[in-house]
Amino acid sequence: MTRGASRRGMTIVATSMLALALAACGGSGGSGGTGSANTAPAFSSAATGTVAENTTGVAYQASASDAQGDAVTYTISGGADAAAFAIASGGALSFVAAPNYDLPADADGDNVYHVTLQASDGKASSTLGVAITVTNDREGIRVERIATGLADPVGIASLGVDGNVAVALRANAIMRIDGRTGAQSTYYSFFPHITSPISAVSLLGIARARSEGSRESIFVLGTQFGRAWVACLSCTYFSLADLVPDSQAANLAIGKGADGNAYVAIGDPDGTSAQDASSPLGKLVRFVPFPSSYDPYSGASVPMDYYTRTVAGSGLRAPAGVAALPDGRMIVSDRGGTDFDELSLTADLGAPNFGWPYFEGTKEKRAGGAGLAGLVTPSLVVPLGTEPRQSRGIVGGVAYTGSIPGIANHYVFSDKGGRIWSIPLARLSGTGTLQASALELRSEDFMPDAGTIDRPVGMAIDADGTLYILDGDGELFRVVPTGTVKIDVTTPPAS
């Protein structure tokens, strides 16, 4: 063998040994080559989810896989609504507090909650933005139309017997509606004799309140010959009290107070007399018919206007309702002109001052109002406007304490455009002023089985605890728990 051949042989052997050494250190089948670089987990779950309101369990299940087979854990890394959620290490996402469709808590207030999730294998991580949409649950509320054809209704009140309610019609009549069957009949007509109605009588509102002792009777607001008045129809003696010129008819409201008596709220939109003690305008007046000083056996004739009147409040602009709360307080609804409608509570029978014209809601309209004696701070203000939590003219409501879970122990009320709200009675503490953001928007929950609630004029609770909503186009709606047997609408009586 030549020297050159010998050198070539040694080179081949050395090269082969080097190749074997490299293979032993980790070739394509080893554990440390470039093919084993770690990758972050990859999400396979969707970027959206849907859940019904009041859900307390898992709202969304995150899912991600790891290419290297490492265990994946999940956390919340951000998002506009991150604080609304909690997540288990296994990816189960839930709300910290059950979501409320009627009172959304997401940043945009549109019931779409945005959260960013992170999946990690302990070495690398990836993120996914998720949008959880909360859908409505009617929460046991069912609304059915039980009467139609009520001509120009202006108010509703319980008759105190079973499911019967009274509906006042603007033109002289009060109808009795059986809330269980929808049957209609005439309860009272302002007729001096059988065929002729009393001239120019126009009704404005109705309430059931105390008359004599513990007995309750129907009171109505009306106008005739240029004057507005209040009358007790079913008192032992018909009693009528003059109020104000009928130019103020649009600014009157009647209701039952916490003491059981009838209260008439008289407005003063111009604000010229609401703080004038000598004027009836802008005042809340308590009417007690046949006071204890009256002796029915004395032989004296009974005067037509036999009431004790007490000014129970002042500073009202355009009142829309008076109602009693279960805790013994009274709630007064007052419409604003440019800024706010308001609900104000009074816990006594003194003389609270509701602040007009110095205040509209919480907005100071004139200087000097802070020193008013007995000034009442509104319990709730609703700005005027067309948005979901803005008012187009508040309509007085009722305290519902019945069995429907979604609105049990809520104050339920509306505006003239058909928007319906509720707020827990517990939140109406009487201290401080709540904003409209505290209202639960109930319009979807109160969608009726027929007809439309688009012009409410009043609400009432009957003797059985059932809630009714009267609409200005002549429809009456009954609000009942889901599962209640539906009734057929009774054809209105022929006129």
Helix (H, G, I), strand (E, B) or coil at 463: coil
- Among 79, 80, 77, 134, smallest CA distance to 107 is for 80
Taking the model in full, what pTM does it have?
0.86
User: What does the pLDDT read at residue 192?
Assistant: 55
Strand, coil or helix: what is 19? helix
Assess whether pLDDT exceeds 80 at residue 36. no
242-258 tens-digit pLDDT? 899 999 999 999 999 99
Name the range with the highest mean pLDDT among 133-137, 240-244, 344-348: 133-137
From 172-176, 193-197, 214-218, 311-315, the region with the lowest mean pLDDT: 193-197
For residue 487, the model assigns a pLDDT of 65
Concatenating the DSSP letter of every residue in 39-88 gives ---EE-S-SEEEEETT--SEEEE--EE-TT----EEEEEE-TTGGGEEE-
Neighbouring CB atoms inside 10 A of 131's CB total 17
φ and ψ of 62, to 5 deg = -75, 145
| Mean of all residue pLDDT scores within the chain | 88
By C-alpha distance, which of 166, 260, 162 is closest to 211?
260
Q: To 5 degrees, how large is the angle CA 75–CA 80–CA 83?
A: 55
Q: Are 314 and 284 in contact (CB under 8 A)?
A: yes
Name the CA dihedral angle for 394, 395, 401, 405, rounded to a multiple of 10 degrees: -60
Per-residue pLDDT at 33: 47
Q: What is the pLDDT of residues 59-116, one digit of tens each?
A: 999 999 999 999 999 999 999 999 999 999 999 999 999 999 999 999 999 999 999 9
Q: Are 331 and 288 in contact (CB under 8 A)?
A: no
Locus of tokens 């991600």: 64
Half-sphere exposure of residue 445, counting CA atoms within 13 Å on the CB side? 26
Q: What amino acid occupies position 328? A: G
pLDDT, position 260: 92
Domains in the chain, CATH or no CATH each: 39-135 (2.60.40.60), 141-481 (2.120.10.30)
Please give the C-alpha separations between residue 291 and each of 211, 234, 307, in angstroms, as whole numbers.
Answer: 9, 16, 7
Structure tokens at 445: 């929950």
b (16+ CB within 10 A) / e for 273-292: bbbeeeebbbbbbbbbbbee
Mean pLDDT of 428-441: 90
Select the more confidently predicted residue: 376 or 145: 145
Summarised one tens digit per residue, pLDDT across range 271-287 is 999 999 999 999 999 99
Q: Which residue has the tokens 């207030």?
A: 109
24, containing H or E segment:
helix 3-24
Average pLDDT over residues 6-18: 42
Residue with tokens 């339920």: 412
Mean pLDDT of the region 125-154: 98
Q: Compute the distance between CA of residue 162 and CA of residue 186 in angstroms, rounded to an integer.
A: 17
Task: pLDDT band for 212, please (50, 70, 90 cuts).
Answer: confident
Q: How many helices (DSSP H) and strands (DSSP E) are in the chain? A: 1, 35
Residue 247, classed as helix, strand or coil, is helix
Chain position carrying tokens 């120019």: 200
Asked if 277 contacts 269 with a C-beta cutoff of 8 angstroms, the reply is no
pLDDT at residue 191, rounded to an integer: 65
The model's confidence at residue 214, banded by pLDDT at 50, 70 and 90, is confident
Region 281-304: what's the mean pLDDT? 68
Judged against a pLDDT cut of 60, whether residue 354 lies above it is answered with yes
444: alpha, beta or left? (left if phi > 0; alpha if psi -120 to 50): alpha
Q: What is the pLDDT of residue 200?
A: 76
